[in-house]
Chains A and B, each alone.
Chain A
C-alpha cells in the first residue's frame, strides 16, 4: 500500500487544498478509501486525521468499503422519476437481491442510485460501469441482468 500511496502523493505538493483530488486518486487506486490510506494522507498533508475522515464522509463519491466488480447506478433524476425510476430500482433490487448501497454477496454488483446523469431523454436510465441503458421498464431491467449473467458464463 505504501508504494502505491507514494505514487499518488508524488504528483502533489502536499498542501491541504489537495485533499479532495488526492482522496479521488487514492480511491481510484484502491477502489475505496482504506483507513490506513486516509491516515497516510493526513500525515502527508499535515492535516488532522479527523478532518480527512470528515471530508471523505461528506462527499457521496467516497466509500469506505470495497465495491463490487460492477457498479450499477439507477438514475433517480426528475425525468427518470416521473417515468418510473422507482419501479426500475425495485426491479433491479429484486433481481440482484440487494438494496441500494449494497453489494451482492458474490461481489459482482454494487447497486447505487445517482441523482441525474443528464441522459433525461433516455429516461428512465441506469448505468452499468458507466454504460448507459435507457428507456427501461422493470422487465427490461430484469432482462438486462439476466443477459449480463449469461454473457459472463
Chain B
C-alpha cells in the first residue's frame, strides 16, 4: 500500500454479497480506472466489517468513512464527490437514530464504539484473498518466530499465561489441550480446526474464515509445530461456499509462499492443511463425531468414558481439535504476549468474545466485546436496542444448547461462568434478541425441533427424549397442552440432560428448561387458557378487521390466499374465521396508517381481550 493512497474497501462478507457488493466493487474499479486517480486509489474487497444491518458497506480509508446501504447507482457519487472533490456523500452515511445527524467515521458510530476488536482486527481491513495484505499487517511473523525456537514449550507457556479458553463453547483452557496433545505418545499427530459452525443464528466462524483466513492457518501451523503434527484439517460446513473458497485461496497462497507445506520458512518443519467439507450434520461439531466424519463414517459421538481426543483422535492418533476462533487468537497472543491478553476480560474469562448479534435488534452484525461486558451494553449500546418501539423479552445465547435469559439478567456479565450460572451458556457466539412478540414456548419448540432433527439417534434419551419434548411443546403451542405438561417436560428434560451420550444431548433440554424457569406464565397461558400471550402461535390466534378502522380498500381481501375476506369496496371487510388459515397476509397488507387488522389470542367471545 503506497503512502497517500486511499483505499476503497468493499465489504464482501456473505451478507453484503447478497446485497450485490460484488457488482459494487466492479463498478468502483471501472469508475476509478477511468479517472486520473487511478494509481492513487485502490479498490479492494474485505471480509465482514461487522455492521451487517447497514450493508452493503463501502469504507474509505484512511478517513474511516463508512458508507452504508450502498448500491451500484451510488458508485458515481462516491467516486466523484468523495474521492475527487473530497466531499463526503452525506446521504450514504449512517445517521444517528436519535439525533438524525450523519456520522462519517465508523469510529464514531456507537455500534463500533463499545467493541474491542482483537480477533476481528483484520476483518474489514485486509483483503482476505491476498496474502500480501496479511503479511502487510504482520501476518506470519508469529509463526516465523515460533519456528526459531527449539520446541513448542515456549508457545505453550505463552498460551498458559494468556489463560485463553477454547472458543468452541465449552471454554476448556486451550493450553491444557495443547499440552496433552504434545505429551501424547505417537509419531503421527493431527491438528483439526472445527469450523462446523452449526448453531442457527451464528456466523462468527464463517466471518473469520471469510475475512481473515490466514490467521486461522497461521494459528494451526503454530499448533502443529507445538504439538508435533504435520497435518491439519479444517472441517467446514458445506453451506459456507465462500468461506471454503477463501480458505482454498489462502492455503494455495500460503503454500506458494512457503508458509505451508514442507520445510516451512527453511526451518525443517513441515505442515500442511486440508479443507474437509462437512456434509450436513450438526452433531459433527462434537469432537469425536467430527473426527469420525473425516474418517468417512457416520458422525456418531463416542460414549464416555473414552480416551481424550488429544490421545486417541483422528485415525486413532493424538489430535488437537480447536475452534476457528481459538486458532485465530494464537498469532495475536504470541505477538502481544500471553500476559497482555490476560489483562483483557474477567478473572475467569480472558480476552474478548465474538458474537453474531441478530434477531429483534436495531443493529444486526458481527461484534467483538471484552469478556465481562453486560448483555445490556451489547444489546442497547452496540445493538441499538429493540426496533419498532417494541419491548425486549429475552436474549438467547449458546444456540440449541443454550438458554433464553429475561430482562432481569440484562446486567449479567458476559463470560463463560456467569452465563452458565444463569442457565444459558456462552456457546460459540450466537446471540439472538427477542422482542415481546416472540412466544417463548414457541422458541423452545423451535430449538427442540432443531435438536430432534439433528440428533444422531444413537442414544435413547436424545433420540426419543427430544422427540417427546418436541411433541408435547407442539401440542402446547396448538392449544392441546394438558395440566402437568410442564412437570413432565422438566422431568424428561432433566433426564435427557443427565443421561444423554454426548454434549448435544446433554444440553438439548436447556431451551425448554430455561424458558420454563423464566417464562412459566407463558406456558401456563397456553395450557390453561389456550392463549398465546405473544399472539404468535398460529393455532391460538385469530385475525379480525376492526370496523371503526377499516376503510374498505380491499387490499387485505386481495392479499388473502384463501379468499376468507369478504366485503365490497368502501365497506367494512369481514374475515371468515372458518376459512382463515392465520397466515397474517391481511395484517401485512393493511396499510399502517389504518392498522385495521387486529391479531388476538384467547377467547373471541370475550371480545379478543389480550394480556
* A and B from one complex: yes
Identify the A interface with B (CB < 8 A). 16-21, 23-24, 45, 47, 51, 54-55, 58-62, 76-79, 81-83, 86-87, 90-91, 94, 114-123, 125, 130-134, 137-139
Contact of B15 among A51, A77, A119 (CB under 8 A): A119
- Of B65-73, B250-258, B354-362, the one contacting chain A is B354-362
**What separation, in Å, do the CA atoms of A59 and B53 have in the docked complex?**
32
The reply to whether B55 and A78 contact each other, CB–CB distance below 8 Å, is no
Assess the B241–A78 pair: CB atoms within 8 A.
Answer: no
Whether A20 contacts B279 in the complex (CB less than 8 A), given A79-B432, A82-B438, comes out as yes
Please tell me if the beta carbons of B294 and A79 are within 8 angstroms of each other in the complex. Answer: no
Across the interface, do B279 and A115 meet the contact criterion of CB distance under 8 Å? no
Interface residues of B, Cβ cutoff 8 Å to A: 14-15, 18, 52-53, 55, 197-203, 206-207, 238-241, 276-282, 293-299, 315, 356, 358-360, 364-365, 396, 399, 430, 432, 434-435, 438, 443, 446-447, 450, 453-454, 456, 538, 559, 561, 583-585, 588-589
> In whole Å, how far is B368's beta carbon from the nearest beta carbon of chain A?
16
Q: A17-B294, A116-B200 are in contact. Are A137 and B277 (CB under 8 A)?
A: no
Most-contacted residue by chain B among A21, A115, A120 (CB, 10 A)? A120
Please, which residues of chain A bring their CB within 8 A of the CB of B294? 17, 20
- In angstroms, Cα B301 to Cα A128, docked, is 33
| Residue numbers in B under 8 Å from A120 (CB-CB) | 52, 201, 203, 356, 358-359, 364, 432
In Å, the complex CA distance between A51 and B296 comes to: 10
Report the separation of the CA atoms of residues A55 and B299 in the bound assembly, to the nearest whole angstrom: 8
Task: Write the chain A residue with the least CB distance to B294.
Answer: A17
Q: Which residue from A17, A59, A122 sits with its C-beta under 8 Å from B295? A: A17
CA distance A19 to B292 in the complex (A): 12
> How far is it, in angstroms, between the C-alpha of A138 and the C-alpha of B584 when the chains are bound?
8
Residues of A with C-beta under 8 A to B197: 118
> How far, in angstroms, from A125 to B239 measured CA to CA in the complex?
14
Which residues of B are found within 8 Å of A58, using beta-carbon distances?
281, 298-299, 456
**Given known contacts A78-B399, A78-B430, A118-B203, what 7 new A-B pairs fall within 8 Å (CB)?**
A21-B276, A78-B447, A82-B435, A115-B450, A120-B203, A121-B358, A123-B359
9 pairs, A vs B, C-beta closer than 8 Å: A20-B293, A51-B297, A78-B396, A79-B364, A82-B435, A91-B561, A116-B198, A123-B364, A134-B18
A114 to B588, CA, bound (A): 25
The 8 Å CB contact of A139, one of B15, B207, B438, B588, is B588
Which residue of the partner chain A has the closest CB to B561? A94
Task: List the A side residues contacting B585 at CB < 8 Å.
Answer: 91, 138-139
B239 touches A82 (CB 8 A): no
Q: Check if B238 sits within 8 Å of A90, measured CB to CB.
A: no
Q: A78-B200, A134-B18, A139-B588 are in contact. Are A83 and B240 (CB under 8 A)?
A: no
B residues less than 8 Å from A62 (CB atoms) = 279-280
A117-B239 in contact given A62-B279, A81-B200, A87-B584 (Cβ < 8 Å): yes
